[in-house]
Amino acid sequence: MEELLNKFGEYLKHEQDASSHTIKNYLADLRQFYGYLGKANSQIANGGKSALNKIDHNIVRGYLATLFNKNNPASIARKLASLRSFFKYWIKTGVMASNPAKDVATPKVPKRLPKFLSVDEVTTLLSGPGNDDVLSLRDKAMMEVMYASGLRVSELVGLDVDNINLGEGVLKVLGKGRKERIVPIGSKAQTAVANYFARREELMDKPNSTKAVFLNRQGDRITPRSVERMVQKYLHTSGIQKEVTPHVLRHSFATHMLNSGADLRGIQELLGHSSLSTTQKYTHVSVDKLMDVYEKAHPKA
């Protein structure tokens, strides 16, 4: 099993240019499938490459049936997508003749509207960090950049110093699938980053010891989990009574841009979405907001 998964992992990394996060999730899903297979059909589970063609759609359906009590539809859909991708790779290499997961129906995933903050709430949240120390300046810069440019947390923590051009007001971002894009950074975010850069070396043992923009107390690249804790800290002190993750700042960026008249395709480019349908979820938020305004303001509503 491990040999099969390792080869598939190498394919994802070198040919598909998948992120380490995606590879980790796919391989975890496949190990779970093989765990089920070890109990349901140990001969196939232990048969290696030669046993792959013995896996049929009934085995895949049986595996999915065991997931429904403990997993939501979105999680099951992802696990099915992992299997499809795995089998597709072995078809490509000539080992498998067909994809046993291809005709298995994907669970219907309910559409969830993105959570976002109002403009006033964002202003309150971003005013949380002070200017007294380098960590406060860093926190201010991180939140300003996330809201100004709509970055994913992974994109934010992955920024290197040479990815930022404060003079031109742009960032070079490495997004999903290692796709690069150029996004603007607003004047307030530029100021916040410049203020942080003025004292950033206080976090390093040696000058220029790392290319990472945002550093932790030890002078290493900050992690997504640390960014999440940082946002929760300022959310608590701001008094905003909402569930807010760093991703909510990205949603807020997109929603506020759309409400202010930005073109949907432009927002798609800024967010780094490969499909316009992914960006279109923000139109539902805008319609909801419009209906709310209508019902409150129209005398005959």
> What would the pLDDT profile of 89-140 be if each residue is shown by its tens digit?
999 999 999 999 988 888 886 666 557 788 888 899 899 898 889 999 999 9
Residue 120, Cβ neighbours under 10 Å: how many? 9
Active site annotation includes 282: yes
Report how far residue 186's alpha carbon sits from residue 190's, in angstroms, rounded to the nearest whole number.
6
Give the per-residue pLDDT at 210. Answer: 85
Q: What is the signed CA dihedral for 117, 119, 160, 163, rounded to 10 degrees?
A: 130
Q: Are 130 and 85 in contact (CB under 8 A)?
A: no
> What would the pLDDT profile of 147-198 be if each residue is shown by its tens digit?
988 898 989 999 999 999 998 888 898 877 777 888 888 899 999 999 999 9
In percent, the amount of the chain with pLDDT more than 70 equals: 88
Active site annotation includes 247: yes
Buried b (16+ CB within 10 A) or exposed e, 43-54: ebbebeeeebee
Active site annotation includes 176: yes
* Marked catalytic residue, from 176, 181, 188, 221: 176
pTM: 0.61
Instruction: Specify the DSSP class assigned to residue 152.
Output: -
* Marked catalytic residue, from 57, 247, 281, 289: 247
* Marked catalytic residue, from 79, 251, 256, 273: 273
In percent, the amount of the chain with pLDDT more than 90 equals: 41
Residue range(s) of every CATH 1.10.443.10 domain in the chain? 119-297
Angle at 250 between CA 135 and CA 200, to 5 degrees: 20
Give the per-residue pLDDT at 66. Answer: 93
* Marked catalytic residue, from 152, 200, 251, 256: 152
Helices and strands counted in the chain (H then E): 14, 3
**64 has a pLDDT exceeding 60:** yes
What CATH number has the domain spanning 119-297? Answer: 1.10.443.10
Report how far residue 244's alpha carbon sits from residue 77's, in angstroms, rounded to the nearest whole number.
25
- Binning pLDDT at 50, 70 and 90, where does residue 299 land? low
Q: How far apart are the first and last CA of the chain?
A: 62
Give the per-residue pLDDT at 176. Answer: 74
Active site annotation includes 273: yes
* Marked catalytic residue, from 79, 250, 251, 256: 250
Active site annotation includes 152: yes
